[in-house]
Structure 1
Amino acid sequence: MARLGRTIKWSGAVLLVAWAGMGLWQSIKPLPENVGKAWPERPVGEVEFLADRTWYDEGGRRHLDQHIFDEAVAMIEGARRLIVVDMFLFNRLEGSGGGDFLPLAERLADALIAARQRQPAPRVVVITDPLNTLYGGQRVPLYQSLEAAGVELAITRLDRLRASNPLWSGLWHLGLDRLGNDPDGGWLPNAFGGEPVTLRSYLALLNFRANHRKTLTVDHAEGWSTLITSANPHDGSSLHSNVALRIDGPVAHDVIASEVEVASWSGVEVSQPPAPEAEPSDGAMAQLLTEAAIRDAVLARIDDTVAGDRLDVAAFYVAHRGVVEALKEASGRGVAVRVLLDPNREAFGFEKGGLPNQPVAEELLDAGVQVRWCVTDGEQCHSKVVLVRRGPAKDELADAVILGSANLTRRNLDDFNLESSVLLKGRGVVAIDDIGAWFDQRWDSSDGRRTSRAWAPRDEASWFDGWRYRLMEASGLSTF
């Protein structure tokens, strides 16, 4: 018995050391090429701002005004030789709440299948996150239809990424990751809707890794175009408010290069097409940013503001401590800082506790930052925008906006998730003015068009919520 006891103790000690070592390695391991990269600034041919707007009238009725996937379908219909799609959520699942959802997933899939049926047919590559298959625990008829039409499907290999939740991932990579999965073996309720799933699906989910990108790139008769957005072709997300930029010109070449890297992890090889050329339109310049390069660009833009500038942020999540501190400091310098936030109270039919935005909102308000909540009823205020409009003292400097997939959180900005955003800058750029008008309309809510509301005492977060948010953000033990 004594020998058995010593064996158990030594085995436990070895397991703990291996667990800690693997968790550390997964947190710091080298990343693949082109992850966390700021690509060169490129001239823009044409650029258009698109938005999916959700608002409420005096009677509380929801209204939708959507344009993003109209543009996506039009781009696919005009494609000639290559279509590359990378979308985080691309499925029909609706969660547990139900609702009058729109068939976004089927609409995008139908457009891609129709493209493959043309003669000559463009090559179509779809990159997506394994969450859509519940990490191999569920068959997706939508994907079977795409593959039957000749669409090449790349389910992202997330093990190439670092661990945002090392406490779990350290144990996961000691052997649990080799368990595989069984799409016919489901027996647990599916939190996302649909057929039952296996325990292995939930164990994989706890790593909290994701390919969170949302891009579409095509070649057409006039050259190359890319769509960079916060929107998912996901039925359960179809009522959300979202934003996008369609950009013509060489930045599309950079988006293709960044997606070629991710597709190759899953064995789908795409040859890089020749770089397109473009004459600048309105003096606009665009720069593709991925992963931590988004963080660096956001902080640089915030830190560069001075009294007289206006800094507007619209975000589903704000949690990154560096960003929170930068916003507070900008307000202290006399910058007019406005932050429009989702209340983080609902997600796909589930009630949430208001983290991280509730305690962060109070912290920002205490520092003099103006904060408003999006008015929502089950859907999400899902946009991710950082907009800098220069004051009269800086007429020689450009206005700028950063827009795309990345929430302002550690997971999204510190090289854990895959993310794609774009920095667009210039003086007198119509698309930037359009984004400013969009923000003002959401901020300036009216009785007939309720889009946002002021912070109220009922929104007050407890001290426990504040510390819980900080612990969850720092440790990775969270879904934000």
Structure 2
Amino acid sequence: MKRIIRIILALVIGFGIVNVFKPLPEGLNFKGEEQEVENVRFLADRTFVNARGEREIQQEIFDEVLNMIRQARSIIVVDMFLFNDYLGALEEEPYRALSSELTAALVAQKQRYPNLHISVISDPINTVYGGARSEHFDQLREAGIQVTVTDLTRLRSSNPIYTTFWAPFVSPFGNKEANTVPNPFGEGGVSIRSYLALLNFKANHRKVVLSDHEDTLVALVTSANPHDGSSAHGNVALQFSGAAAHDLLQSEMAVLDMSNAFIPMLHLPVPERPESSTSNSDTTVQVLTEGAVERALLEIIGNAERDEWLDLAVFYMSDRHVIEALIEASQRGVNIRVLLDPNKDAFGREKNGIPNRPVAHELVSEGIAVRWCNTQGEQCHSKWLMHRTREGHATMVLGSTNFTRRNMHNLNLETSVVLRGDSEQPALDSAHQWFEQRWFNLDGHQYSIEYAVYADDSKLNQLLYRVMEATGLSTF
């Protein structure tokens, strides 16, 4: 009996080691070249309290996504984490039916242009890990659109303590639709195995759209999801074309490949990379995925010098490397402003402020300025950083990547982009003005509130945050 127990224990430990250290699928952890950019635009969805004390929502990201779909004739690739109409506890709140709008637009464009290849990539959370049907995915497939649910088993474990037992004892049995227990996200029921799969806390968290327009590949990278329950969130996006859009498409082909899905062939010209001596533009875009995002962030923060500026607007901040780099930058004399979501709302349910409140306490203790988004049930969902130099150069990072271990350490699938150029370049200037408006509550719109409103010096919460970040026993 003891021998059997030792064998089982050895197998469990073996599964745990493999799931933590196994090689990444080819094409992940991608670091693109700094490519000269064409037609670059900064987009933002804004939610604020107006002068009458009412919540007001101004959106442009998915309006542009729908426009990109209408313009396509050859190819559309949509990779979105949340693609569903689940509302959680928000049934009484006004919302935009983003999932239905996106589904209808894709189906309509496929019907207009039957030879148009459309590939939709998403996360198994939208089928509650195989325990429920996705009406949106069914509609897309019926229209002849390729839908790929990402194979998350190819990824490393972000919650190794749990996955060590789930991988050998639950995963082999798969999952199927059932009505055994309540759906954790919406109406109806799911299987118990759906809950067991959820606790792995791993995801394809990317938010990417690619489409052709007049022989040009157009790309959009965002923090926004086509998810009805998220439709009031504050988000940002960067739209661009040029060689970097082809880099982005290459990074998406890697997800299709790891999920054993059909990979489309694109017959659009790839812009040639100009020689540095002949290029007249200093505005570039660089595509980054997974762990490459953290490496870029640390380099940008590390290059910031005394009397320069670092501004951040972040939904989740918990990554120790980033936090320590910000503290070191502040000690060098860099001017830093951090705008954080208070982590109090999750689709109608109240949260406890972890990780942002303990992290904010640490930053403020080191002399870094922190303000909170003045959320009214929605989330301040951007993952954004800008560095501005004394010489008038700016570098901006945005995308799907939260500033956390799970999002930055080759565990989740993530995509962000870096835009570099003169600080007066229109997209960079628009992004800077977007942050200034939120930080200073300009135009009579209240976007943010003082740090003291949600200040939290609880030692227990600081300990909980550190343990949750280090072990992966968390949703952030």
TM over 0.5: yes
- TM-score for both structures, normalised by structure 2: 0.95
Partner of 2:412: 417
Q: Displacement, 1:22?
A: 1.3
1:335 to 2:331 alignment: no
Structure 1 letter corresponding to 2:407: N
User: Match for residue 470 of structure 2?
Assistant: 474
Asked if 2 retains the 8 angstrom alpha-carbon contact of 1:44 and 1:281, the reply is no
How many residue pairs match? The answer is 468
CA deviation profile, 1:139-186 (whole Å, cap 9, x unmatched): 111111111111100000001100010111111111311222221x22
Kindly indicate whether residue 296 of structure 2 is the aligned counterpart of residue 297 of structure 1: yes
C-alpha separation in 1, matches of 2:264 and 2:347: 38
> Given the alignment of the two structures, is residue 103 of structure 1 paired with residue 103 of structure 2, yes or no?
no
Compute the displacement of 1:447 (Å): 9.0
Which of 32, 37, 41 is matched with 2:30 structurally? 37
Conservation of the 8 A alpha-carbon contact between 1:257 and 1:272: no
Quickly say closer, same or farther: Cα 1:255–1:446, change in 2 above 3 A.
closer
| 237-246 or 213-222, larger mean C-alpha shift | 213-222
User: 1:44 is paired with a residue of what secondary structure?
Assistant: strand
The residue number in structure 2 matching 1:426 is 421
1:77 equivalenced with 2:70 (yes/no):
yes
Q: Tell me the residue number matched to 1:131.
A: 125
Q: Which moved more, 1:443-452 or 1:129-138?
A: 443-452
Given that residues 260 and 272 in structure 1 are in contact (C-alpha distance below 8 angstroms), is that contact kept between their aligned partners in structure 2?
A: no
In structure 1, which of residues 241, 249, 262 is the aligned counterpart of residue 234 of structure 2? 241
- After TM superposition, the structure 1 = structure 2 runs for residues 344-423 of structure 1, keeping only pairs within 5 Å, are 344-391=343-390, 394-395=391-392, 398-423=393-418
Identity across the alignment (%): 45
**Deviation string for 1:230-280 (max 9, x for gaps)?**
000000000000000000111111111111111123332224435521787
Q: Give the superposed CA RMSD.
A: 1.6
The 5-angstrom pairing of residues 250-265 of structure 1 reads 250-265=243-258
Q: Which residue of 2 aligns with 1:462?
A: 458
Partner of 1:48: 41
Aligned to 1:11: 4
Distance 2:369 2:14 in 1: 44
Provide the C-alpha distance between the structure 2 equivalents of 1:272 and 1:12, rounded to a whole number of angstroms. Answer: 51
SS for the counterpart of 1:401 is strand
Tell me the distance in 1 between the aligned counterparts of 2:113 and 2:290: 37
Given candidates 225, 234, 256, the residue that maps to 1:232 is 225
Query: How many Å apart are 1:58 and its aligned residue?
Result: 4.2
Query: How much does 1:70 deviate?
Result: 0.5
Q: Is residue 209–residue 221 contact of structure 2 (8 Å, CA) maintained in 1?
A: yes
Judge conservation of contact 1:46–1:281 (CA < 8 Å) in 2.
no
Taking the aligned partners of 1:211 and 1:193, their CA distance within structure 2 comes to 20
Structure 2 distance, partners of 1:409, 1:12, is 37
For structure 2, the 5+ residue unaligned runs are none
- The range that moved more, 285-294 or 118-127, is 118-127
How far the C-alpha of 1:300 sits from its partner, in A, is 0.2
Structure 1 residue 286: Cα displacement? 0.6
Superposition map of 1:47-196 within 5 A: 47-98=40-91, 99-183=93-177, 185-196=178-189
Q: d(CA) in 2 for partners of 1:345 and 1:79? A: 39
- SS of the aligned residue for 2:189 comes to coil
Asked whether the 8 Å contact 2:117–2:264 carries over to 1, the reply is no
Deviation at 1:190, TM superposition (A): 1.6
- The residue type equivalent to 1:345 in the other structure is K
**1:4 paired residue number:** none
Distance 1:452 1:445 in 2: 7
Give the deviation of 1:468 after TM superposition. Answer: 0.9
Q: Distance in 1 between matches of 2:461 and 2:325?
A: 22
Mark the CA change 1:120 to 1:60 in structure 2 (over 3 Å): closer, same or farther. Answer: same
Instruction: List gaps (5 residues or longer) in structure 1.
Output: 1-6
* Bigger mean CA offset, 401-410 vs 341-350: 341-350
CA distance in 2, matches of 1:425, 1:405: 18
Farther off after superposition, 442-451 or 361-370: 442-451
Please state whether the residue corresponding to 2:444 is helix, strand or coil.
coil
Residue identity opposite 1:476 in structure 2: G
Report deviation, 1:222: 4.7
* Partner SS state of residue 117, structure 1: helix
2:359 counterpart letter in structure 1: V
1:313-328 equivalent positions in 2, closer than 5 A? 313-328=312-327
Note the alpha carbon deviations across 1:38-75, whole angstroms, 9 max, x for none. 11111111100000000012443110000000000000
> Is contact 1:154-1:266 (8 Å) kept?
yes
More divergent stretch after superposition (218-227 vs 378-387)? 218-227
